[in-house]
C-alpha cells in the first residue's frame, strides 16, 4: 500500500518538478535575453548621444570659423518646441520674391539659349559658393571593377494583374577611389547593376539611390505593387542601385572621412567646400561614368531617382550633370525641390541643425543666423529645375500632412517658376495637354504634358505609388531621339 502511494506521488511530483525546472530555465533564458537587449539598447542610446554631441561640436566649430554667433532653431512638430511647424497653406508663402533665373546679376536679361549657357554658370557658382559647396578640382579618379555576378528571377504580379517571370543577371560593382594622395583613407563606391537576361541590344537604365536597409525593412506603407526593380525590368530596362553612404557617411562626424575626408586629407573643410549632398551627387556622376562603359546599357538613356534626402541628391545630380536624361525627385522637400522662401513644413533652420547641416556647404550656416534669412539666398530651388532644362524632371510627393514636411506645394511652385527657362528652349515646362499650368493639380492626377512633371499620391512619405507614372514619363524621355542641351 505504501509503495503504491509512493509510486503515485512520484508519478505526479517528479514530472511537476521537471516542468518547474524547465519553466525556470526558460524564464532564465528570457531574462538573460531581455537583459542583453536592454544593454544593447542602452549602448545604442549612448552612442547616439555621443554622436549628437560630436555633431553639435563640429557645427559650432564651423560657425565660429564664419564668425557666426547663435544659429536659429528649426521648426518642430511638437507643441512643446520653440517654433511649431506650419501646415496652414495660407501662411506658407513664398515670403519674398524669387530670384529671376533669366536675369544676370547686373540686371541684364537672358534673351537666348546662348545667353542662358552663360547665366547657367553664374547660377551654379551661387549654389557652389553659398549652398551646396564646390567639388574640388583634384578629386581622385575612380576605377570600377566587377566584384561578383549573380543570376536571379523576378516573379511577380504586374500592374495589370498578370503574372510575370523575368530572369536577370546582377553585377555587384565597386568603384575604387585612388587614395595615393592620402593612404590613410580607403573610399569605394558600392553599386549593383541588374539587367534582364533576354534583351535586344543596349537598353535604358534607371539609377536608383538608396540606403542600406536594415534586415526585415520593407519600406514605408504603400499600396501593394511590384517593386521598383520589377517595374523597371518589366519594361525591358536595366536597374542600377547606388548606395551613397558607401562613400560618404550621412553625418557631420564623417566629414573627415569618405570622399570629402580623402580630398581634404582628413582635415576640416573650407567654407565653400562641398557638403554631403554634393558629394553624393558626385558619386552619381561616377556611376554614370561606369554606365558609359557597360556593354549592356545605353548610357544616352539614363534616368536617376531618389527619395527624401536622396531625392535632393537626384535633383542636384540632374542639375549639374547633363548626361542624365530624366530624373524622378521624390519627397525631397527643402534643399531639394521645395522653395527655401517658404514657411511650410521643414524650413531652412532645420537643414542647418546639427543633424543635417553637413548636407550643405559651411557657408550655408550664415543664412540660419541673424541678420541673414532664406530671403537673402542668391538662388532658390526653382533654379535647380532651371539648370535641368531642357531635360525631363518628374517630381513625386505624398499628401499633406502625411508628407507635409516635404512641402508638396512648395515643390510644385518651384517647378512652375522654372517654366520661363524651358520656354526659352521653345519647350513647355509644367504643362497639361493644352499648355503651361501654374496651378497645382488634384491629388492622384499626373501632370505630364511638358518636360517638368508633377504627381501627388494619397500616401505618406514613400516613393512607390509614383513609379508607374514616372516610368511612363521616362519612356517619353527615352523615346526622344535627342535632347537639346
Percentage of the chain surpassing pLDDT 70? 89
Q: If pLDDT is split at 50, 70 and 90, which confidence band does 481 have?
A: confident
- Is 239's pLDDT higher than 90? yes
Q: What is the mean pLDDT of the chain?
A: 91
Class for domain 121-479, per CATH?
A: alpha beta
pLDDT of residue 18: 45
**Contact by Cβ (8 Å): 305, 207:** yes
Q: If pLDDT is split at 50, 70 and 90, which confidence band does 99 have?
A: very high
pLDDT, tens digit, 9 for 90 and up, residues 384-413: 999 999 999 999 999 988 899 999 999 999
Q: If pLDDT is split at 50, 70 and 90, which confidence band does 8 have?
A: very low
pLDDT of residue 7: 44
Grid cell in block for residue 245? 553612404
- Is 31's pLDDT higher than 90? no
pLDDT of residue 401: 84
Question: Which residues lie below 8 Å from residue 360, measured CB to CB, with a gap of 6+?
Answer: 131, 132, 133, 275, 277, 335, 351, 352
Is it true that the peptide bond before 425 is cis, omega within 30 degrees of 0?
Answer: no
- Is 38's pLDDT higher than 90? no
What is the average pLDDT across 195-209? 96
Which of 285, 277, 375, 392 has its CA nearest to residue 335? 277
pLDDT of residue 29: 52
The least confident of 66-75, 207-216, 366-375 is 207-216
Grid cell in block for residue 220? 514605408
Residues linked to residue 436 through DSSP beta bridges, in sequence order: 431
Q: If pLDDT is split at 50, 70 and 90, which confidence band does 81 have?
A: confident
- Distance in angstroms (rounded) separating the CA atoms of residues 171 and 177: 19
pLDDT, tens digit, 9 for 90 and up, residues 154-169: 999 998 899 999 999 9
What is the average pLDDT across 231-235? 96
- Distance in angstroms (rounded) separating the CA atoms of residues 392 and 405: 25
pLDDT of residue 30: 58
- Is 297's pLDDT higher than 90? yes
Grid cell in block for residue 104? 544676370
What phi, psi does 174 have (nearest 5°)?
A: -125, 125
* Polymer length of the chain: 485
The pTM of the full predicted model, rounded to 2 decimals, is 0.90
| DSSP output for 12-24 | HHHHHHHHHHHHH
**Contact by Cβ (8 Å): 221, 462:** yes
Q: If pLDDT is split at 50, 70 and 90, which confidence band does 219 have?
A: low
Question: Which residues lie below 8 Å from residue 313, measured CB to CB, with a gap of 6+?
Answer: 209, 244, 277, 280, 281, 284, 306
pLDDT, tens digit, 9 for 90 and up, residues 41-69: 777 778 888 989 999 999 999 999 999 98
- Is 35's pLDDT higher than 70? no
What is the average pLDDT across 72-85? 86
Long-range contacts, stretch 157-165, CB < 8 angstroms, 24+ apart: 157/226, 158/226, 158/230, 158/231, 158/234, 159/225, 159/226, 159/231, 159/468, 164/226, 164/230, 164/234
- Is 214's pLDDT higher than 70? no
**How far is residue 293 from each of residues 56, 141, 145, 297, 343, measured CA to CA in Å?**
42, 15, 11, 9, 45
Q: State the pairing for strand pair 188-196/163-177.
A: antiparallel
pLDDT of residue 10: 47
pLDDT of residue 3: 44
Q: State the pairing for strand pair 238-243/297-307.
A: unpaired
The full set of domain ranges for the chain reads: 121-479
Strand order in the sheet with 163-177: 142-157, 163-177, 188-196, 238-243, 203-209, 297-307, 326-330, 392-397, 452-456
pLDDT of residue 1: 43
Helices vs strands, H then E, count in the chain: 11, 9
What is the average pLDDT across 94-106? 97
pLDDT of residue 42: 73
Amino acid at each position: 500500500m505504501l509503495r503504491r502511494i509512493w509510486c503515485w506521488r512520484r508519478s505526479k511530483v517528479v514530472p511537476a518538478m521537471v516542468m518547474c525546472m524547465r519553466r525556470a530555465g526558460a524564464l532564465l533564458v528570457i531574462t538573460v535575453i531581455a537583459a542583453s537587449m536592454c544593454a544593447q539598447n542602452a549602448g545604442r542610446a549612448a552612442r547616439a548621444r555621443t554622436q549628437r554631441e560630436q555633431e553639435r561640436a563640429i557645427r559650432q566649430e564651423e560657425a565660429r570659423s564664419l564668425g557666426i554667433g547663435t544659429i536659429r532653431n528649426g521648426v518642430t512638430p511638437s507643441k512643446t518646441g520653440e517654433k511649431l511647424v506650419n501646415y496652414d497653406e495660407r501662411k506658407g508663402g513664398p515670403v519674398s520674391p524669387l530670384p529671376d533665373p533669366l536675369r544676370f546679376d547686373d540686371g541684364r536679361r537672358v534673351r537666348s539659349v546662348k545667353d542662358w549657357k552663360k547665366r547657367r554658370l553664374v547660377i551654379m557658382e551661387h549654389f557652389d559658393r553659398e549652398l551646396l559647396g564646390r567639388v574640388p578640382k583634384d578629386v581622385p579618379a575612380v576605377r570600377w571593377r566587377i566584384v561578383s555576378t549573380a543570376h536571379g528571377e523576378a516573379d511577380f504580379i504586374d500592374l495589370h494583374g498578370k503574372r510575370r517571370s523575368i530572369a536577370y543577371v546582377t553585377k555587384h560593382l565597386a568603384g575604387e577611389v585612388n587614395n595615393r594622395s592620402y593612404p590613410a583613407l580607403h573610399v569605394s563606391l558600392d553599386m549593383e547593376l541588374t539587367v534582364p537576361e533576354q534583351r535586344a541590344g543596349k537598353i535604358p537604365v534607371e539609377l536608383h539611390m538608396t540606403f542600406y536597409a536594415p534586415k526585415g525593412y520593407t519600406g514605408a506603407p504603400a499600396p501593394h505593387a511590384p517593386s521598383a526593380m520589377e517595374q523597371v525590368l518589366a519594361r525591358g530596362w536595366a536597374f542600377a542601385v547606388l548606395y551613397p553612404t558607401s562613400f560618404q557617411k550621412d553625418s557631420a562626424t564623417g566629414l573627415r572621412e569618405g570622399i570629402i575626408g580623402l580630398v581634404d586629407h582628413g582635415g576640416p573643410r573650407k567654407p565653400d567646400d562641398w557638403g554631403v549632398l554634393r558629394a553624393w551627387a558626385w558619386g552619381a556622376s561616377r556611376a554614370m561614368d561606369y554606365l558609359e562603359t557597360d556593354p549592356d546599357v545605353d548610357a544616352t538613356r539614363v534616368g536617376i531617382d531618389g527619395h527624401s534626402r536622396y531625392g535632393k541628391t537626384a535633383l542636384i545630380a540632374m542639375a549639374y550633370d547633363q548626361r542624365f536624361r530624366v530624373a524622378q525627385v521624390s519627397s525631397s522637400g527643402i534643399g531639394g525641390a521645395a522653395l527655401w522662401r517658404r514657411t511650410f513644413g521643414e524650413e531652412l533652420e532645420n537643414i542647418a541643425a546639427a543633424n543635417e547641416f553637413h548636407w550643405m556647404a559651411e557657408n550655408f550656416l550664415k543664412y540660419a543666423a541673424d541678420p541673414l534669412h532664406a530671403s537673402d539666398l542668391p538662388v532658390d530651388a526653382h533654379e535647380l529645375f532651371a539648370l535641368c532644362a531642357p531635360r525631363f524632371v518628374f517630381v513625386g510627393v505624398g499628401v499633406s500632412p502625411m508628407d507635409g514636411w516635404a512641402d508638396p506645394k512648395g515643390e510644385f511652385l518651384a517647378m512652375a517658376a522654372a517654366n520661363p527657362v524651358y520656354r526659352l528652349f521653345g519647350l513647355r515646362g509644367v504643362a497639361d495637354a493644352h499648355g503651361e499650368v501654374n496651378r497645382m493639380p488634384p491629388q492622384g492626377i499626373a501632370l505630364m504634358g511638358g518636360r517638368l512633371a508633377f504627381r501627388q499620391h494619397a500616401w505618406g512619405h514613400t516613393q512607390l505609388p509614383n513609379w508607374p507614372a514616372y516610368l511612363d514619363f521616362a519612356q517619353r524621355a527615352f523615346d526622344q531621339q535627342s535632347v537639346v542641351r
